[in-house]
Amino acid sequence: MQYRSDEGYVDENLRQMQNIEGGGPPKKMILNTLPRPLRILGYLFMAIMAGMGIFAVGVTLFR
């Protein structure tokens, strides 16, 4: 296993599969660079997840 800052995490055993499947390891998604409809869906998904977390904490505390 190696870590190269220009490539991200690269597992030598999976290098061939990573190259076949799309050019390397997963990269962090930056929502600002996506088209508007995908950006809206991404922010909506994150808001729903945050809301579910807050709801779960509220139900646990005020049960």
pLDDT digits (tens, 9 = 90+) for 15-60: 777 666 665 566 777 888 889 999 999 999 999 999 999 999 999 9
Helix, strand, coil % in the chain, rounded to nearest 5 = 55, 10, 35
Checking if the pLDDT of 3 tops 80, the result is: no
Distance CA 46, CA 22 (A): 25
pTM over 0.75, yes/no: no
